[in-house]
Amino acid sequence: MPENRLWIGALGGVTEIGKNMYFIQYGDDIIVVDCGSKFPDESLLGIDLIIPDISYLLAHPDKVKALIVTHGHEDHIGGIPYLLKQLNLPLYASSLTLGLIESKLKEHGLLRQTSLHRIDSESILDFGSIKVSFFRTNHSIPDCLGVVFDTPEGTVVHTGDFKFDMTPVNRQYPDIHKMADIGKKGVRFLLSESTNAERPGFTPSERLVGTHIEEAFQKADRRIFISTFASNVHRLQQIVDAASLTGRKLALLGRSMVNVVGVSQELGYLNVPDGMLVEPAEAAKLPPHEIAVLCTGSQGEPMAALSRLANSSNRQMEISTGDTVLLAANPIPGNERNVARIIDNLYVLGAKVIYGSRSELHVSGHGSQEELKLMLTLMKPEYFIPIHGEYRMLHHHRLLAEAVGVEGDKIFLLKNGELVESAGGVVRQSGRVPAGQIYVDGLGIGDIGNVVLRDRRQLSADGILITVITLSQSDGRLLNEPDTISRGFIYVRNSDKLIEEINQLVVATLEKLNQADLGQWNVIKQTLREALGKFLYEKTKRRPMILPIIIEV
Amino acid sequence: MPENRLWIGALGGVTEIGKNMYFIQYGDDIIVVDCGSKFPDESLLGIDLIIPDISYLLAHPDKVKALIVTHGHEDHIGGIPYLLKQLNLPLYASSLTLGLIESKLKEHGLLRQTSLHRIDSESILDFGSIKVSFFRTNHSIPDCLGVVFDTPEGTVVHTGDFKFDMTPVNRQYPDIHKMADIGKKGVRFLLSESTNAERPGFTPSERLVGTHIEEAFQKADRRIFISTFASNVHRLQQIVDAASLTGRKLALLGRSMVNVVGVSQELGYLNVPDGMLVEPAEAAKLPPHEIAVLCTGSQGEPMAALSRLANSSNRQMEISTGDTVLLAANPIPGNERNVARIIDNLYVLGAKVIYGSRSELHVSGHGSQEELKLMLTLMKPEYFIPIHGEYRMLHHHRLLAEAVGVEGDKIFLLKNGELVESAGGVVRQSGRVPAGQIYVDGLGIGDIGNVVLRDRRQLSADGILITVITLSQSDGRLLNEPDTISRGFIYVRNSDKLIEEINQLVVATLEKLNQADLGQWNVIKQTLREALGKFLYEKTKRRPMILPIIIEV
């Protein structure tokens, strides 16, 4: 590829929600924006986490000048430790974002070796051919940045995640005048996030949630339990304020809640009155109307605090009749059933539960259609690349861009890895770099592929049947009865007769093989798999994995 | 239990959505209402279906006088074949319900042996101490019945599933005057469904959907594909009407769609103009504006017609740029991701997709809070048992009942199997009968229990590691290198070294055992499981199932 060209691409984050990772390259300078992770869906059995494929960056380690992180959510920072283990590069982020990344790097033993740079919306960075500046945006976590890249092929703007909250809880107002200036000077390419592109209107201010939290605190006469996303520091602040107003102490349950409250207090993003925070053990002794408990688990995670409270299996606190439980978060698609189960259990305990969209205890952190149009109007880009969304969201964002005047053929809906190129002012979609899903399972990164997942799927549905046959080394004769064992296939107490029939079938199948076949273990195994598979499917309409093992003595 | 008592209980359907099955017993007369099935959630690996535990009925085969079926949805009829295989009893249902049950019994080879009785809202049945009559309700399938039981302990009313649709598509108006009469005469116990007890207001009429379907048909200039629940015959009728109005032929894709359209046409519940239905192959040849395709798969089922169309893997039809796709059904909780994936794929194909609650292409078949209060007001029961719902729904239904004047201590929130008893006018919750989840997996009914499921869960997350050791029968000496195989654990190409280390560990572990232990296979196996489990967790942070197999030669 010639040097004097600009490339824009995503290594993650388009046609998906999660693992955001974008890059801008001009000549020998590559700047990476974000490095997120994503949670696996239920088809990826046993997988803990998905991270982006960074092989393009690993192939050009000298060109990668910086990782800029727009904000501290997992889908933007979750992949950073895995990236830094393979590629040591300087990292730039705002104060809170950096605080959250540091806890992560500490866990992975990477803190010392990494060059961390604190920036804010006024910072200006110079990476050779690319100059970088920033603007402040609002989102469901403080300290979010949009990024402006000045390149020889014009200005590229990456919005990060945003909404336009004109009454933000922490008074970090959106840099709307700066955005207008950027747009006025001329934006060649806009990359803007698409999460709520299907949603009409304007997302309500986070303050709306505060009003309803305060109301609920005023009404409650016994203990209050409230669960939300730990990273939503604005909401945590409003919970602290409501507790303060109603004279309640606050206890924290859940590791990530303790961590985020600690980091954001330390960095000045969360103001908690002195003496308000108490340990759960201490809280348990206070009168019910003097305590509020802030806990993790708003997505129904089975091991998190709220789920344990609902099952009465939390060791430190318990929920009893008349307590109020607030779910200040909507379930993310896929989590509805787990959350519903928790609500059921809370009602069984006699709690008053306040939940669901009608309770207005949650607003989105992402701008709706009118806000996406406002960003497009402020930036008035020549070219538009909708990012951060599944295909239908990108599609709807395209329609919004067309509605405010961007020409249809200047909008690119990219897949991960696909590139938009600008060379001497000529823009086109061109070429691609490797991109994909890297699975993290335990300590293994990328060692689980389709074969292992296919096996796990078969094992999960119908289990396994193992039959061990012992052959004589001298004449290939069967020395023992076959030894047949199953797991996850059929209840053992019911299977004695079936196992006996299987063993008979194994012996009969081996007897039918001729001497030449008996020398070839692959032929024996394949023949046994087919015979047993057919027999078991007819008997049970199930297809366990069948694993013949040959032992030669 | 003495004879002169009334019992009311659920074998399925309370504290859950699905597998509805209730019974009313007076002395030696048991009447069963509905026998539904339920789909397993993602934790029940490999399970095909869940049905109620009917052991209480099997213990009293002579007392069970009848199965009355309120309507033809799977959560009310799906368990019938499994019940009838074990207990041959007369079945009473309205015309369409019976039609749908008959297709099911035919599949299971049960049609001939079963005594089927067609009833309608005017029928009166006499089962000794219990007389049964009916009233008509509206729901998302025609021919729904509420059931009235006259017993020596007073009148028991079971609503079935219902909404109050004052402008029903098929002019089957709700029997509101009859309900008023029943209430006026006095209802001792009301069992009323709770699906939408959390939802304020009044559920809109099915006609609202018709308006929006018609609008979409008017606007479309190429092919129309529309997917909905096959059993929603009202909606099918409105689709037929829209096609007729806009001069389109109609093709059917999907087995259940073909089945329901056939049954409901035959029984007069669906009026399709002559010559309108065409085979998909024929439809594919017609000009795009002359065809509409009605297909299954509105819940994102991966093998159903809509999913295949979206993946361009349907053999008979394909979707191309400019076609319109209508999703006339909301995703049931748990199905959101699959439905979203289909919408993404449809946009990639260039289709216009109309979906989501804002499109108003779906209304619920269940009454909202105002309708539940209307039913409670019409029936003005002395005792109330909310049924058909998860705990939070039953809880909210209880609050509604209290709001319209039912006394709090006369409301029973039952678990499956728990009984309400009325003896000589004295009512109390008392005793229980067996109730639970019976899993259907392939041909097996109830043969999968917690052990098999626990094994499947472990296998699904981390796979299995099998190590075969061959011991000498004479002296317990290890005869061969251990033979170690894994599936679903780790990618084989990366595991050569690991397997070697495992084999060394097996040999070392066996060497440490003393002669006495070597004689006890359980001790050998347990020791190997512990040693290998610890080693593998340290190496990989995974916990595969470890299965040592000992062969003695």
Is the CB of B545 inside 8 Å of chain A's CB atoms? Answer: yes
* Whether residues B437 and B401 fall in one domain: yes
Mean pLDDT of chain B: 95
CB contact under 8 A, B549 and A461: no
Q: ipTM score of the complex?
A: 0.91
Give the CATH number, domain containing residue B405. Answer: 3.60.15.10
Residue A538 annotated as catalytic: no
Is A224:A248 a contact under the CB 8 Å cutoff? yes
Query: B390 and B286, same structural domain?
Result: no
pLDDT in tens, A298-346: 999 999 999 999 999 998 899 999 999 999 999 988 898 999 999 999 9
**pLDDT for residue A494:** 63
Q: Is there a contact between A459 and B464 if contact means CB atoms under 8 Å apart?
A: yes
CA gap B295, B252 in Å, rounded: 6
Same domain as B323, residue B254: yes
Band of residue B389 on the pLDDT scale cut at 50, 70, 90: very high
pLDDT reported for residue B494: 63
Query: How far is C-alpha A45 from the geometric centre of its chain's CA atoms?
Result: 16
pLDDT band at B492 (very low <50, low <70, confident <90, very high): low
pLDDT, residue A227, reads: 98
Q: What percent of chain B has pLDDT over 70?
A: 99
Q: Consult the annotation and say whether A363 binds a ligand.
A: yes
Domain boundary among B338, B359, B380: B359
Mean pLDDT of B230-236: 97
**Reduced DSSP (H G I as helix, E B as strand, rest coil) percent helix, strand, coil of chain A, to 5:** 35, 25, 40
pLDDT for B474-486, tens place per residue? 877 888 889 999 9
Residue B356's identity, in one-letter code, is: G
Nearest-neighbour CA in chain A from B41: distance (Å): 9
Given a cut of 50, whether residue A187 has pLDDT beyond it is: yes
Average confidence (pLDDT) over A99-120: 95
Q: Tokens 């200005």: give the residue.
A: A155
The answer to whether position B407 is within a domain reads yes
Indicate the residue of B353, B451, B541 with minimum beta-carbon distance to A491. B451
Same structural domain for residues A134 and A14? yes
CB pairs under 8 A between A and B: 183
A46 known member of a binding site: yes
| CATH code of residue A491 | 3.10.20.580
Query: For residue A262, is it within any domain?
Result: yes
Examine residue B155 and state whether it is found in any structural domain, yes or no: yes
Provide the annotated binding site of B: 46, 48, 71, 73, 75-76, 139, 161, 230-232, 362-366, 388, 441
Residue B551 tokens, joined: 């062969």
Q: Are A352 and A325 in contact (CB under 8 A)?
A: yes
- Give yes or no: residues B264 and B283 share one domain: yes
Q: Does B444 touch chain A (CB under 8 A)?
A: yes
Q: Smallest CA–CA separation between B400 and chain A, in Å?
A: 15
Boundary (domain end) residue, out of A422, A444, A466: A444
**A553–B553 CB contact, under 8 Å:** yes
Report if residue B44 sits inside a domain: yes
Which tens digit of pLDDT belongs to each residue from A451-500?
999 999 999 999 999 999 998 888 778 888 899 999 999 876 667 889 99
The whole-number average pLDDT for the span B194-217 is 97
Q: Are residues A382 and A412 in the same domain?
A: yes
Q: Which is it for strands B21-26 and B29-33: parallel, antiparallel or unpaired? A: antiparallel
HEC profile of A62-108: CCEEEEEECCCCHHHHCCHHHHHHHCCCCEEECHHHHHHHHHHHHHC
Q: Cβ contacts of residue B416 below 8 Å, gap of 6+? A: B10, B11, B12, B13, B14, B15, B16, B52, B435, B436
The residue-averaged pLDDT of A489-515 equals: 86
Question: Is B16 noted as a catalytic residue in this protein?
Answer: no
Same domain, B373 and B453: no
Task: Give residue B55's pLDDT band: very low, low, confident or very high (50, 70, 90).
Answer: very high
Per DSSP, the residues of B254-293 read: SHHHHHHHHHHHHTTS----TT-EE-HHHHTTS-GGGEEE
Q: Which residues of B touch A463 (CB under 8 A)?
A: 46, 452, 455-456, 459
pLDDT the model gives residue A377: 98
CA distance A352 to A323: 6
Q: B473 lies in which domain range?
A: 449-552
**Which stretch of DSSP H or E encloses residue A131?**
strand A130-137
Q: Best of B14, B456, B536, B546 to disrupt the A interface by mutation (most A CBs within 10 Å)?
A: B456
Q: Are A398 and A413 in contact (CB under 8 A)?
A: yes
Q: Are residues A480 and A411 in the same domain?
A: no
Nearest to B212 by CA among B328, B307, B114: B328
> In this prediction, what percent of chain A has a pLDDT beyond 70?
99
Total-model pTM? 0.93
Residue with the larger pLDDT of the pair A262 and B516: A262
CA distance A528 to A547: 9
Q: What is chain A's mean pLDDT, rounded?
A: 95
Which of A412-421, A512-521, B169-178 has the least mean pLDDT? A512-521
Calculate mean pLDDT across residues B242-269.
96
In this structure, the answer to whether residues B113 and B154 fall within a common structural domain is yes
B 84-113: CB under 8 A from A: none
Confirm whether B308 is domain-assigned. Answer: yes
Q: Does A198 touch chain B (CB under 8 A)?
A: yes
Q: How confident is the model at residue B448 (pLDDT cuts 50, 70, 90)?
A: confident
pLDDT of residue A516: 74
Residue B464 pLDDT level (bands cut at 50, 70, 90): very high
pLDDT tens, residue by residue, B308-329:
999 999 988 999 999 999 999 9
What is the nearest CA distance from A79 to chain B, expressed in angstroms? Answer: 19
Q: Is B1 a member of any domain?
A: no
The single residue of B16, B74, B153, B193 carrying the catalytic annotation is B193
Q: In the predicted model, what is the mean pLDDT of residues B372-382?
A: 98
Note whether residue A490 is domain-resident.
Answer: yes
Residue A3 has pLDDT above 70, yes or no: no
**Which of B63, B39, B40, B50 minimizes the C-alpha distance to B11?**
B50
Helix (H, G, I), strand (E, B) or coil at A405: coil
For B142-185, what is each residue's pLDDT tens digit? 999 999 999 999 999 999 999 999 999 988 999 999 999 999 99
As a whole number, mean pLDDT of residues A76-81 equals: 98
Q: Answer yes or no: do A252 and A268 share one domain.
A: yes
For B15, name the nearest residue in chain A, comparing CA atoms only. Answer: A344
Residue B521 at interface with chain A, using a CB cutoff of 8 Å: no
Q: A305 and A388: one domain?
A: no
Mutate to test the interface with B, among A199, A344, A359 (most CBs of B within 10 A): A344
The backbone torsions φ and ψ at residue B154, rounded to the nearest 5 degrees and listed phi first, read 110, 180
Same domain, A175 and A217: no
The enclosing domain of B282 has a CATH number of 3.40.50.10710
Residue A416 among known ligand-binding residues: no
Residues in chain B with CB shorter than 8 Å from the CB of A480 are 551-553
Residue B1 has pLDDT above 50, yes or no: no
Closest-CA distance, A440 to chain B, in angstroms, reads 11
The reply to whether A1 falls in a domain is: no
Residue B334 has pLDDT above 90, yes or no: no
Assess contact for A462 and A545: CB atoms under 8 A.
yes
DSSP characters over B510-528: HHHS-HHHHT-HHHHHHHH
Q: Give the pLDDT mean for B21-37.
A: 97
Residues 326..385 of B with a Cβ closer than 8 Å to A: which? 333-334, 336-337, 340, 343-345, 347-348, 353, 356, 358
> Residues of A23-62 as b/e, b for ≥16 C-beta within 10 angstroms?
bbbbbebbbbbbbbbbbbeeebbbbbbbbbbbebbeeeee
Among A391, A419, A444, the domain-final residue is: A444
Tell me how many domains chain B contains: 3
